[in-house]
Structures are given as C-alpha cells and as structure tokens.
C-alpha cells in the first residue's frame, strides 16, 4: 500500500485538519504517517488512521526522512508556514532535499497538495 506523510507547522495544523477532512475519501485508501501533533489531531478529529512519529523537535521529521530515503513514502504533504515558522518546528530544507534526491513528490501548500493527491489517486485508479 502506498504511504503518504503529513506534516504541518504549528500555524498550519488546522489547515491540515481541514485538508484531511476534505480529502478523507482519497486519504483513507493510503497508509498515513505524520509527526506527533499533526498525527494526534488527525486521529482525534477524522476517521483516518494515522501512524504518528515523534514530534518535529524530537526528530519526527527525521524519522519520516529516513522512510523517504528507504523508498517507503510515496508522497509528502508538508504544510509549512513561510512567514512565521518557529525554531522548534520541522526543517523543511532537509525533507525537500531527501525528496528531491529520491524523486518523491512533495507539496508545501494546500493547492499543490490537492493536485498531487488527485494525481496519485488517478494513477492508482
């Protein structure tokens, strides 16, 4: 089963929740992983089953990065806050680099996430 990673900066967590609710029919067809708080929010507020890793500051983004490097993640949705990201939040640069190295599609905003998710769903028919 294909796996999607879901990560959101603090100010984007509610946007991620709404995105997941709006796209739940598609997302439920995939294995989902997330950093701790994002995963908890999605597990508590949707019918989706999300495997949470550590929080970003504790290395959850690195755990997801390792799965990307092992070709175990098929799509990354990282809703980042380009204006107010906090120092404790996951490092987008490292995740973008590992996605680029391993040719894994990554969305950093809701518009791109919507398009990539729809494309992945169409590819899997």
Q: Is 61 a catalytic residue?
A: yes
Which of 10, 61, 74, 81 is flagged as catalytic?
A: 61
Contact call for residues 86 and 55 (beta carbons, < 8 A): no
Measured between alpha carbons, how far is 33 from 4 in angstroms, rounded to an integer? Answer: 6
88 annotated ligand-binding residue? yes
Structure tokens, 27: 């997302």
Asked whether residue 13 is marked as a ligand-binding residue, the answer is yes
Q: Do the annotations mark residue 56 as ligand-binding?
A: yes
Residues forming the annotated binding site for substrate? 9, 13, 55-56, 88
The catalytic site residues sit at 61
Residues forming the annotated binding site? 9, 13, 55-56, 88
């Amino acid at each position: 089963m294909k796996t999607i990673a879901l990560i959101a900066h603090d100010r984007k967590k509610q946007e991620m929740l709404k995105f997941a609710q709006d796209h739940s029919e598609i997302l439920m067809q995939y294995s989902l992983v997330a950093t701790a708080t994002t995963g908890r929010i999605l597990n508590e507020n949707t019918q989706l089953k999300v495997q949470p890793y550590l929080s970003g500051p504790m290395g959850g983004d690195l755990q997801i990065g390792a799965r990307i490097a092992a070709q175990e993640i098929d799509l990354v949705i990282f809703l980042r806050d380009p204006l107010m990201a906090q120092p404790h939040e996951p490092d987008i640069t490292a995740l973008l680099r590992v996605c680029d190295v391993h040719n894994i599609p990554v969305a950093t905003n809701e518009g791109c996430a919507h398009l990539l998710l729809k494309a992945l769903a169409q590819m899997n028919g």
